[in-house]
Amino acid sequence: MVPKAGEGTATTGTARALILVWARPGSSRESVKWDQWRKRWAVSVTAPAQEGRANEAILELLAKTVGVSASCLVIRHGHTSASKTIEVLGLDQETADSRLRGDGTSRTLTQS
């Protein structure tokens, strides 16, 4: 099931967006998928949850997904938790939501 507009995100001011994430470090492949049960984006990365490597990989994958530089993403809540709130600077909420949803379906990106 594809999230509705605004679901899995939080409302913010102009030129920034919040993305609610469920981190899945140590996965066999990297992907961004909508988790209907958690009402968050499940972000799977191959990096382990050690010394911030998974957090870095999550920011890089989300940056690629929404089309911004990784330096534009900041973890606002959940640095050591699977449940995270990520702020995207320089991108409004509507654009971030649209890019995460892709063409009306949940988006899966596989990293080579």
More confident residue, 22 or 105: 22
21 belongs to a structural domain? yes
CB atoms within 10 A of CB 64: 15
4 belongs to a structural domain? no
Q: Please say if the pLDDT value at position 23 is more than 60.
A: yes
> What pLDDT shows up at residue 107?
43
Report the CATH number at residue 73: 3.30.1200.10
In this predicted model, what pLDDT tens digit does every residue of 33-92 receive, in sequence order? 999 999 999 999 999 999 999 999 999 999 999 999 999 999 999 999 999 999 999 999
User: Which distant-in-sequence residues (6+ apart) come within 8 Å of 71 by Cβ?
Assistant: none
User: Which distant-in-sequence residues (6+ apart) come within 8 Å of 52 by Cβ?
Assistant: none
> What pLDDT shows up at residue 15?
78
Angle at 3 between CA 22 and CA 78, to 5 degrees: 20
- CA-to-CA distance for 60 and 39, rounded, in angstroms? 21
Q: Please say if the pLDDT value at position 11 is more than 60.
A: no
- CA-to-CA distance for 64 and 57, rounded, in angstroms? 11
76 belongs to a structural domain? yes
For the chain, the domain total comes to 1
| pTM (predicted TM-score) | 0.79
What is the domain extent for residue 95? Answer: 9-101
Local confidence band at 4 (pLDDT 50, 70, 90 cut-offs): low
Strand, helix or coil at 94?
Answer: helix
> What pLDDT shows up at residue 102?
87
73 belongs to a structural domain? yes
1 belongs to a structural domain? no
With contact defined as beta carbons under 8 Å apart, do 60 and 68 qualify?
Answer: no
